[in-house]
Structures are given as structure tokens and as C-alpha cells.
Structure 1
Amino acid sequence: MPYDGLRDFVSTLERAGELKRVRAAVSAELEITQVVDRICKANGPALLFENVRDSSMPLLINAFGSYRRMAMALGVESIDSIGREIEEILQTPMPTGIVDKLKMIPKIARFAKFPPKAVSSGPCQEVVMEKPSLSALPILKCWPQDGGKFITLPMVFTKSLETGRRNCGMYRMHVYDDQTTGMHWHIHHDGARHFREHKNAGKRMEVAVALGSDPAVTYSATAPMPADVDEMLLAGFLRNKPVEMVTCKTINMEVPADAEIVLEGYVDPHEERIEGPFGDHTGYYSLADTYPVFHVQCITHRKDPIYPATIVGKPPMEDCYMGKATERIFLPLIRTQIPELVDMNLPLFGVFHNYAFVSIDKRYPYQAKKVMHAIWGLGQMMFTKIIIIVDKNVNVQDVDEVLWRVGNNVDPRRDITIVDGPLDVLDHASPLPRAGSKIGIDATKKWPEEGHTREWPDEITMADDIIELVNRRWREYGLE
């Protein structure tokens, strides 16, 4: 069942023992970050800070910060079940007769429920601030060298000037004062594309920011959806119910009706300002740079709103589990483009754009190199700095096994591919911003057709009958 907004999710977490309330007075400047960082590193619970100094709003954080809570957020026992459902739909053969067509009806009906639904009012507009001020929100300064306070879990809604289609993305917002923030749109993001359209036309860009909603809606803002595909459609699929959307009070933009807080405003196409630095998910500070400026014109919110936040830093942190959800949910879609792909692991320490471990069903020479280049050609996977390809029998979720294969199966001159291309803007090691080199490592078994004319040795394994014998006699050995 979908959640009736963020507070319903909070209640569910608390009943499940996955949330703790912190009633002691705490500061939004650095103190909360230090508390939450310890909790994240200890695989601890979600936290609801009920007494944040200088704000009447409680602050929710680390709500997505475990595999269990991430699954709970999306209403499933396991995130993999979502991927399996998508795979089942994608693999459905085209119907050839009336019986097959009738069997397709339930799946078609499942998709028919997804589009967002317009409503005339919503809880997010129960209160309209007379004098909108960001100072009412318990916004965090996360790390000592941060350029200021940052809104860290926003759902940013924009529309294309050319098509009118909506996008919802998650971009940090550097708070400059009570009415203005930075808008950290990376050049590759759809929000940045919408901004360029408005800038080229010399038109002010309307922007709405929603804070707190059904967790499936919040997650969808982070998902790497294709351009011009509404993230609210994905949210509807995940929650098995349309997302109710209400029009903002002062701009022509729709936001989730169940949101806790909504910021309405605009971005001037000719205005930029220094944004950052910011302690980022790489574990390093992202450097200050110029970005567009968001002006807040109106703030609406629920009665007694909850302010949602997250912190990022050296992994593992809360965002890691959102990233792993994306890995599992979108894996079937990647397989439609790379059918030989068996499994993929974007390890937490790789912060989702530094490493990808990929297993393939190898059927022809140099297929691993083909897969590397295919991955670099897939949307945001183009940022992957290090790709390791292994055979289908390798468990890519086991980092030790992957690295064992690399050490044994790789001849550096033959099996390493280095290419130049786009990199994530947060990559500080590249000589140029947003561009540099990437490496692919073929750790598959090599064939004679790939130039390996020597005999390839078998792996050491025990005979099946001996394994069965030892399993049967294990208690006799007195080793338990």
C-alpha cells in the first residue's frame, strides 16, 4: 500500500523499530551531521530531531539509510522484486491471438494507473506563510568548510519551455539568505537543460521545490529517467497509485499534494552566483563554482510540517541505499540495451560513478570491450570511471571475488582499455572539469581468438561427491 505522505512513512518506521526520536536540543550547524554520520556508519536507525534550535519544525534524516528502510520506502520486501517485475513486463512477448491479448490486459491496466492525478487542493497548502522566509526551516550546515547552509533533499520541479513537459530532479540548494538559494544544476541534468531553454529565450524560469512526500516520490526525483519522461510516472508505478498533484499558489507548476513544505519561485536566466563548496558524497568537498539563483516568492506547508534532510560524505551514507535501489530497479532496462549483461554492482565505496563491476555471458572474442563501450554510452553510466568485466559465473556482489579475478585474469597491456570522455562534475582528479579518462578492465577468461594461445588453467574446486560427503558428516567432525 502507498504511504499517505511522509508522516505515514515516519509512523511505519517507528512501529518497525526503524526510527528513534531525539528530544534533546540540537544545532542544525554541524552538530546534527556529526550525530547522523555516526549513526550511518553504525547502520543505525532513521532519526527524528524534535528540538532543532531556532526552528519549530522537527527534522527527519536517514529515513532511507538501510536496505530494509529503502525497501520499506518503496513498499516491498526486497528492492530486487521491483526489478523482477519490470523485467517480466519487458520480456512479455507480443500477443498473437485473442487469448494472449486477454492475458496482457492486467499488465496494460497496471500501467494505466501510473499517470499523476491533478487535484484542486492538498495538505501542502494548509498554511501559506505571510512573509516567506527560509529561516523558518531547520536547514543544515553539514560540514565545516561548506559555503553555508544547504537544502539537501529537495524535489525540484521545472518545465521545458519548448515542450511544456515536467521534470523533477534532486539538486542541492545553497541558502544565501531568507529568500534566495543556489540551484546546483549539473550541465547534464534535465533541470539545466530547461534553464538553458529559458536563458536562450531570455525568459524567467518558474521553479517549485517540494520537501517531504511519500518516500517513493522523493526517491523518484533521484532516478535517472530519460529526458522528458515524468518522474511522477515512475513514482506512480512504484507506489501502485497515481501521485496527486496540486497547482502552486503563485506559479504555473504542480507539486505533490501531500508534500510537507513547498517553495515557489523563479530563476532569473541572467543571474548566477558562487555556489559551494559543499561536503559531497565522494567524501571530498565539491569546489565552489557559479550556478543559477533561485528566488523564493511563496512558501506553503502542512500544519506542523516535518523538514526532511539528508547528509552526504564518506560512504556509507543514506544516499548509498538510494543509489543501490536505482542499480537494482534499472538493471532490467540496461539489459534491454546490453542483453549479455548478467549482473552489475555499483559498490558503495565507488559512490556510483567511480566503479562498476559487471558480469556477462561471454559468447565471442572481445565482447567485454564491447560491453565497456556500451555502458559508457548509456545515459549517466557515461560517467563511470572504472569498469571491470567478469564472466557470468562470478558473483559481482562479492568485491573480494571480483578483485581476485582481476589479479589473476588480467594482462594489463592486453586487457586494459583507456578512453577519454565525460566525467561527473564532482570528479576532482581529472585535469579538466567534467572531462577526462576512464578505464575498462577485461577480467574474463581469455580465448585463443583474443590472442591468448597458452592453456588457461581450471579453477580449483572440490568434487561434488566429496562436498556432499562432508556436508553429510559435518556434525561427526565435532566442528560446530
Structure 2
Amino acid sequence: PIIKSWPDDAERFITLGLVATKHPETGVRNLGVFRMQIIDKTHASMHWQKHKRGANHADISKDKGEKIPTAIIIGGEPATVFSSIAPVPEGLDKYLFAGITRKEGIKTVKCKTIDLEVPANAEIVLEGYVDPEDIRDEGPFGDHTGYYTPVEPYPTFTLTGIMRRKNPVYLTTVVGKPILEDAYIGKVIERSFLPLVQMFHPEVVDFSMPAAGWFQGFAVISIKKRYPGQAKKVMMGLWGMGQLSLTKMFVVVDEDINVHDMDDVIWAITTRSDAARDTIIINNTPTDTLDPASPLVNLGSKMGIDATQKTREEGYMREIQQQVKVDDKTKNLVDSKWSDYGL
């Protein structure tokens, strides 16, 4: 049932397989969603992006001259799927995180041909290994940025065994130009990890990664601003946090701005930021592998816009302008008259 999603995809792709590996030295288990291009009955390309833990595990195995045991989990309960795409802190076991999410441990079983555990309620499990030395061309593939990613070299997964339920259900997804079904998963992750962002940056009030920006492309953060330069401090901090390091553009606004209302955000940008003073550009930084605009794969630039109200210390030398608002007396008067108007 493996599908070819778009006309110019190179082949059929597994798009929602949970790729299970464990750190070759610490044994910490990881789950990640990486697309896999079918090569033949026993081989598939593994699209491990450089910044992801699966690729890190493979690099360590390569340094040891070893192949890395890998299981592809298809189907299962939502907590495990959520855990596989969640940007949890480095070193946290993804099965443990899934158990925390569902408030009950994940039951696992041993694979038959490799030394890995997989969820007992999985629909299908493909067992095998990835050989870091067996590199083959992968792509094109119509991805969630809305563009086809080009042909690039990636390591190869070799199948050694299959486990499945009696009548398994094949779980897959179709990604493309936003907004598609993956947008809803991304929004759940955004809301779930706001408390983690606030743990490291307590001034953060809210956080939004609009689906149209394919999540890694654009984010808006509102803060409770207390001192000059605080917006830039938050940007720099977020660019140093795990998967947020791949975000192309940050806009920081004051707490009175609704980060989920782009009209409100655009109003803040156009009335509270000056292009020369409040825009920062950082060159030669890590970017998402799938970014179609970066000059090089995995390397590009970032932009930050400080759309908070400015102080004199930040170079705003004019009188602070008063915002137009309805006064309470007028508001209460109008509210009291609605019944007189028959409304």
C-alpha cells in the first residue's frame, strides 16, 4: 500500500514510518519520522537530515565501522507517533516521553532480527539496518515546503525481517504546499512545547509557528518586555534551542499582540519596528535541509524582527505615541444602550 504522492516523485515513499534507533554508546532510544524512498523489495533510502538524532546515531556507528540496527514502525497509538516528531531535549528516551504523554508506559517487544525494542501495538514493523557506507541517490520528493526536494545522496536501509498484526492498517500521510494534514500535527506540537520554551525564557507569553511558514520557516513570539534589547535576547536564545535553531525568521512582539492573528502581528511590525534599527540578519547558520531558498543545503541565513515598542535606550528619540483606544466610560455607555436599540 506504499503510495506515490505527487506526479514527479522519484518513487513510492514511506512517509509516516517511525524510525527507531538507539544511541550506539548510551543506548538512549530515539524515534523520528524520516521519509524512505523504495528502491526494491529489500532496500530503501533513509532521508536522515544532518541535524536529526537518527543521523547522529548513524554517524557514530560509521565512526565505529558498524551498521546501525533500525526498525521502521508503521501505525500504533497516537502518543508514540507524537513522540517521534516532538522536539524533546537531547538525551530523553522517546519511549519514555511517549509514556509521559499518555500517562502510562509504552509496552514494547523485542525485534526478531535486530537488537531493538518496538511498541507492542504497532501495525507493521520493518526490521533491518542502515549502512552508512551504502550511499544512493534519493528524490525528488514533493515535500511540506510546497516544493520538490532535489536528488541528493542518502544512506540505504536493508530489510532483514517483518512483524505485523493479523490485519494491519497502513498509516501514511501526504505532505505538500501548506496547509495540509501535517499542519494539525505541527500545531499540537507548538502548543505542547510552549511551557518548555517558557521554562528557558520566562518572559515569553505566547508562541506561534504559522502553518503557511511550514513551521521551521517562520515564528512569532510575544514577550513581557522589561528592559532594552530583550527581544533580541529571546531570538538568540531560541535559535540555540534544538529544532528551533533551524527556524529562518523570528518576529518578537509585545504581550498585547495576539501572535495567532497575523493582522495584529503585521500591525505591530509596521508600527513598532524600524527596518534599519530592528532587523537583524545572521549569515552562515544551520538551516532546515528542506529549505528551498537557502544558498546551500543545510546552510543559510536567519532574520529577526524586533516589533516591540522601543525605549530611548534602544534609539527611539521621539515622544512615545499614545495608542488609540476606546475609554471605559464610552464603552460602558454603548454597552448599556444595546437593549434600547433592540439589538
TM-score (norm 1): 0.70
Residues 344-423 of structure 1: matches in 2 within 5 Å?
344-420=207-283, 421-423=285-287
State how far apart, in whole Å, the 1-side matches of 2:199 and 2:235 are.
Answer: 15
Structure 1, residues 350-396: CA drift from partner, whole Å, max 9, x if none? 11111110111111111111111111111111111111111111111
Offset, 1:230: 0.9
Offset, 1:471: 2.1
Q: Which runs of 5+ in 2 are unaligned?
A: none
Match of residue 309 from structure 2: 445
State how far apart, in whole Å, the 1-side matches of 2:163 and 2:156 are.
Answer: 20
Match of residue 476 from structure 1: 340
State how far apart, in whole Å, the 1-side matches of 2:271 and 2:125 are.
Answer: 54
Q: Which secondary structure does the structure 1 equivalent of 2:193 belong to?
A: helix
* 1:325 and 2:188 are equivalent in the alignment: yes
* 1:180 and 2:15 are equivalent in the alignment: no
State how far apart, in whole Å, the 2-side matches of 1:281 and 1:170 are.
Answer: 13
Match of residue 246 from structure 1: 109
Offset, 1:449: 1.1
Structure 1, residues 62-116: CA drift from partner, whole Å, max 9, x if none? xxxxxxxxxxxxxxxxxxxxxxxxxxxxxxxxxxxxxxxxxxxxxxxxxxxxxxx
Structure 1, residues 104-145: CA drift from partner, whole Å, max 9, x if none? xxxxxxxxxxxxxxxxxxxxxxxxxxxxxxxxxx00100111
* 1:428 and 2:289 are equivalent in the alignment: no
Match of residue 123 from structure 2: 260
Structure 2 residue identity aligned to 1:476: D
Task: Report if the CA contact (8 A) 1:346-1:356 is conserved.
Answer: yes
Structure 2 residue identity aligned to 1:403: I
State how far apart, in whole Å, the 2-side matches of 1:264 and 1:397 are.
Answer: 42
State how far apart, in whole Å, the 2-side matches of 1:325 and 1:174 are.
Answer: 27
Task: Report if the CA contact (8 A) 2:29-2:95 is conserved.
Answer: no
State how far apart, in whole Å, the 2-side matches of 1:162 and 1:238 are.
Answer: 26
Match of residue 142 from structure 1: 5
Q: Considering Cα pairs closer than 8 Å and 6+ residues apart, tell me whether 1 or 2 has the greater RCO.
A: 1
- How many residues of Structure 1 are paired with residues of Structure 2 in the alignment? 342
Match of residue 321 from structure 2: 457
State how far apart, in whole Å, the 2-side matches of 1:472 and 1:354 are.
Answer: 46
Structure 2 residue identity aligned to 1:169: G
State how far apart, in whole Å, the 1-side matches of 2:67 and 2:251 are.
Answer: 45
More strand by share: 2
State how far apart, in whole Å, the 1-side matches of 2:171 and 2:336 are.
Answer: 53
Structure 1 residue identity aligned to 2:303: I
Offset, 1:176: 1.0
Q: Which runs of 5+ in 1 are unaligned?
A: 1-137
Q: Which secondary structure does the structure 2 equivalent of 1:308 belong to?
A: coil
Offset, 1:192: 0.4
Task: Report if the CA contact (8 A) 1:167-1:228 is conserved.
Answer: no
Runs of 4+ in 1 over 4 A off after TM superposition: none
Structure 2 residue identity aligned to 1:143: W
Match of residue 293 from structure 1: 156
Offset, 1:250: 1.0
Percent of aligned positions that are identical? 49
Residues 302-317 of structure 1: matches in 2 within 5 Å?
302-317=165-180
Identify which of 52, 60, 78 aligns with 1:215. 78
Match of residue 203 from structure 2: 340
Task: Report if the CA contact (8 A) 2:46-2:154 is conserved.
Answer: yes
More helix by share: 1
Task: Report if the CA contact (8 A) 2:34-2:48 is conserved.
Answer: yes
Q: Which secondary structure does the structure 1 equivalent of 2:40 belong to?
A: coil
State how far apart, in whole Å, the 2-side matches of 1:157 and 1:409 are.
Answer: 46
Offset, 1:226: 2.1
State how far apart, in whole Å, the 1-side matches of 2:197 and 2:317 are.
Answer: 33
Match of residue 34 from structure 1: none
Q: Which secondary structure does the structure 1 equivalent of 2:338 belong to?
A: helix
Offset, 1:465: 2.2
Structure 2 residue identity aligned to 1:327: E
Structure 1, residues 180-235: CA drift from partner, whole Å, max 9, x if none? 11111000111001101111111121111110011111111001122221111111
Structure 2 residue identity aligned to 1:258: N
What is the alpha-carbon root mean square deviation over aligned residues? 1.1
Structure 1, residues 228-268: CA drift from partner, whole Å, max 9, x if none? 21111111111111000000111111000000001001112
